[in-house]
Chains A and B, each alone.
Chain A
Amino acid sequence: MSMATRELRASFAFVERNFNLTKRYWGWEVAWLVYSLAAALAVAFIGVAQGDTRLLQVLVIGTIFWNFLSIVFGFIGETVTWERWEGTLEYTFMAPVRRYTQLVGSTLFAVSYAVIQMIVILVVMMLFFGLEFTGGNFLTAATFLVLGSISFVGVGMMAAILPLLYVERGDQMVFVIQSVILLFSGVYYSTDVLPDWMQFVSQFSPGTYVLDGIREGLINGTPVTELLHDVWPLLIMGAVLIPLGVKVFGIAERYAKRTGKLKRVG
């Protein structure tokens, strides 16, 4: 069997495993979906209350696509925490699987899961508020979704290191990172309203470019070719953060093996 076949099978192991876990935890999946829907609707009603259709569109796009990006980030960033909680971390790390193979499998599942949830929320929002993105450029939105996924996988990979290094506090740190990205990326507002120092920081969040690009595409119908100022940062972040994340994760794994932290459960 070729190495590529072996790695592909191993990669599919994570897709299938996560699918099976989602199936088994179906009650929680329903609960999370209801929560996400309720949160999205609650935010969107702010736009309704203001009687401002554009604000409603901005909020709906923000809430739906932030949900997508945070799912991708969460799945990757909490990989170690999740396995540690299940008690399978050592088993998975002992298997003859390369980390990038694990990353590919986890990403494939995370993106598929996030897309399904995004579609459900989008459909409900459109039905609820009669929203139509007439004239919207869906190709632009799809392009930014792909680019956003790549860059968020990179950020997630970097974040996933924390639970390896800090057994008890790592997961909390991942949560804080996610919160900071939410604050600085202009999920529910334009980053222009942020103080100068926050605007400066927001340049380093991939969420800023993803949300700006999707809003431009869906609300104004802007083609992706006119949004290169948002495309380039995402390409660079993806190209840098993913290999860097795999590399740094390897270093962190080595550290965990040296100090015995793979075994620790808290």
Chain B
Amino acid sequence: MIEVMNEPKTRTPMPAPTREPVRRVGPPPPGEQPAMLIEHATKRFVVGRKKRPVVAVNDVSMSIRRGEIYGVLGANGSGKSTLIRLISTLLTIDSGRIEVLGHDVERHEMAVKQLINRVSVDAAFFKKLSPHENLAYAARLYGLDAGPARTEAIRILARLGIAEKRLNRPLEQMSRGMQQKVAIARALLTSPTVLLLDEPTTGLDPRSKLDVQAFIEEVRDTHDATIVLTTHDLAEAERLCDRIALINDGRLVAEGTPDELKALVASQHGGEPTMDSVFMTFTGRSLDDDHDDDENHDE
């Protein structure tokens, strides 16, 4: 069953997954602890010289099951990245609550930090340092032994097509696609229970994009990680995500599997059964439309 959230309504259980029978898709059934629970999360900022208040995330609720890839789709400035930052403990929440495996992000910040990792749109690295040096830094920050972490990093990067000999060159000498792969390897190194991928393929060339997408699929199949993926790429969302939430003006406007969303648009709105049509129907604009209101506070 699909959920359209133009008005607050009672959440109903999702049907069993159809795409991959072994995967658990949909909100957790009663009694099962969700990987992530967001209830009425709201975040406001004041922007500009006139201190104009902007609601970047507006009463958003979602419950994500362990092992799901949960897509968050929205135009620029819709509140996607703000939501990711709230989960990442990089922003404080104004009202509502967010829990990661039962740990409140505000009250149990350190516990949540141990459980999550994030790959942002801009690979946040010390660019002069090599992948090896950056990964060693990450490993130590998360309390890992640098030796085994290096072995694991080599394995992950080899899977992503980065040879061991490249590990000692400065990251600034690598392409953006390569850097993004190292960023994903760094995140996986800490074995996060929840992996937050904030537009990981934005700006990548088609080949790198496909590589990263294939790797996300592999992570889904081989790791016990729940993935929250924000993206601009509708095809990517359809390919990778078990469920998708559409965000517009900071509000969650629709949620469901890609097939459910497409079917809904086709049956109730008379649109084409495509993700483009889904996006246009629920946001009323194209992906390229920027949103001035909160661009200083990201999407």
A interface list, Cβ under 8 A from B: 1, 5-6, 9-10, 12-13, 16-17, 20-21, 24-25, 86-88, 90-98, 254, 257-260, 262-264
CB contact under 8 A between A96 and B133, given known A88-B126, A260-B45: no
Interface size class of B (residues with CB under 8 A): 35 or more
CB contact under 8 A between A257 and B141, given known A17-B126, A21-B126, A90-B124: no
**With a CB–CB cut-off of 8 A, which chain B residues contact A86?**
125-127
Contact of B142 among A16, A24, A96, A260 (CB under 8 A): A96
Do A88 and B125 touch across chains, with their CB atoms under 8 A apart? yes
Task: Identify the interface centre among A86, A90, A95, A97: most chain B CB within 10 Å of its CB.
Answer: A95
Do A1 and B122 touch across chains, with their CB atoms under 8 A apart? no
Q: What separation, in Å, do the CA atoms of A24 and B172 have in the docked complex?
A: 12
Contact of B120 among A17, A90, A264 (CB under 8 A): A90
**With a CB–CB cut-off of 8 A, which chain A residues contact B120?**
90
**With a CB–CB cut-off of 8 A, which chain A residues contact B118?**
91, 94
Question: 8 A–B contact pairs at CB < 8 A?
Answer: A10-B140, A16-B136, A95-B113, A96-B141, A257-B89, A257-B91, A263-B85, A264-B296
**With a CB–CB cut-off of 8 A, which chain B residues contact A10?**
140-143
Do A260 and B91 touch across chains, with their CB atoms under 8 A apart? yes
Q: What separation, in Å, do the CA atoms of A98 and B122 have in the docked complex?
A: 25
Q: Which residue of B lies closest to A258 (CB)?
A: B92
**With a CB–CB cut-off of 8 A, which chain B residues contact A95?**
113, 138, 141-142
Q: Which residue of B lies closest to A11 (CB)?
A: B140
Q: What separation, in Å, do the CA atoms of A136 and B161 have in the docked complex?
A: 61
Q: What separation, in Å, do the CA atoms of A213 and B141 have in the docked complex?
A: 38
Q: What separation, in Å, do the CA atoms of A264 and B136 have in the docked complex?
A: 26
Given A88-B124, A91-B124, 14 other A-B residues pairs in contact with their CB atoms under 8 A: A1-B143, A13-B136, A17-B133, A87-B127, A90-B88, A90-B90, A94-B88, A95-B142, A96-B143, A257-B92, A259-B45, A260-B45, A262-B91, A263-B297
Q: Which residue of A lies closest to B187 (CB)?
A: A91
Q: Which residue of A lies closest to B45 (CB)?
A: A260
Q: What separation, in Å, do the CA atoms of A209 and B140 have in the docked complex?
A: 37
- Render B113-146 as a binary contact track against A, CB cut-off 8 A, 1 for contact: 1101110101011111100010011101111110
Q: What separation, in Å, do the CA atoms of A197 and B100 have in the docked complex?
A: 56
Do B110 and A96 touch across chains, with their CB atoms under 8 A apart? yes
Q: What separation, in Å, do the CA atoms of A94 and B91 have in the docked complex?
A: 10
Q: What separation, in Å, do the CA atoms of A48 and B212 have in the docked complex?
A: 65
Contact of A92 among B89, B91, B136, B141 (CB under 8 A): B141
Q: Which residue of B lies closest to A15 (CB)?
A: B140
CB contact under 8 A between A97 and B141, given known A21-B126, A87-B124: yes
- Render B81-119 as a binary contact track against A, CB cut-off 8 A, 1 for contact: 010010011111000000000000000001001101110
Q: What separation, in Å, do the CA atoms of A20 and B46 have in the docked complex?
A: 39
Q: Which residue of A lies closest to B115 (CB)?
A: A96
- Render B33-48 as a binary contact track against A, CB cut-off 8 A, 1 for contact: 0000000000001100
Q: What separation, in Å, do the CA atoms of A88 and B110 have in the docked complex?
A: 19
**With a CB–CB cut-off of 8 A, which chain A residues contact B91?**
257-258, 260, 262
Q: Which residue of A lies closest to B113 (CB)?
A: A96
Q: Which residue of A lies closest to B298 (CB)?
A: A263
CB contact under 8 A between A13 and B140, given known A91-B124, A96-B113, A259-B45: yes
Do B128 and A24 touch across chains, with their CB atoms under 8 A apart? yes
Shortest C-beta distance, A51 to chain B (Å), equals 47
**With a CB–CB cut-off of 8 A, which chain B residues contact A21?**
126, 128-129
Q: Which residue of A lies closest to B125 (CB)?
A: A88
Q: What separation, in Å, do the CA atoms of A96 and B103 have in the docked complex?
A: 14
Q: Does B271 sit at the interface, judged by CB under 8 A?
A: no
Do A94 and B89 touch across chains, with their CB atoms under 8 A apart? yes
Q: What separation, in Å, do the CA atoms of A95 and B120 have in the docked complex?
A: 14
Q: Does B28 sit at the interface, judged by CB under 8 A?
A: no
Q: Does B170 sit at the interface, judged by CB under 8 A?
A: yes
Nearest 7 pairs of A and B residues by beta carbon: A13-B140, A6-B143, A96-B113, A95-B141, A24-B128, A91-B124, A20-B133
**With a CB–CB cut-off of 8 A, which chain A residues contact B82?**
260
Shortest C-beta distance, B95 to chain A (Å), equals 13
Q: Which residue of A lies closest to B117 (CB)?
A: A94
Do A17 and B137 touch across chains, with their CB atoms under 8 A apart? yes
Task: Identify the interface centre among B89, B113, B141, B142: most chain A CB within 10 Å of its CB.
Answer: B141
Q: What separation, in Å, do the CA atoms of A93 and B91 have in the docked complex?
A: 11
**With a CB–CB cut-off of 8 A, which chain B residues contact A258?**
91-92
CB contact under 8 A between A87 and B133, given known A10-B143, A21-B128, A24-B128: no
Shortest C-beta distance, B137 to chain A (Å), equals 5
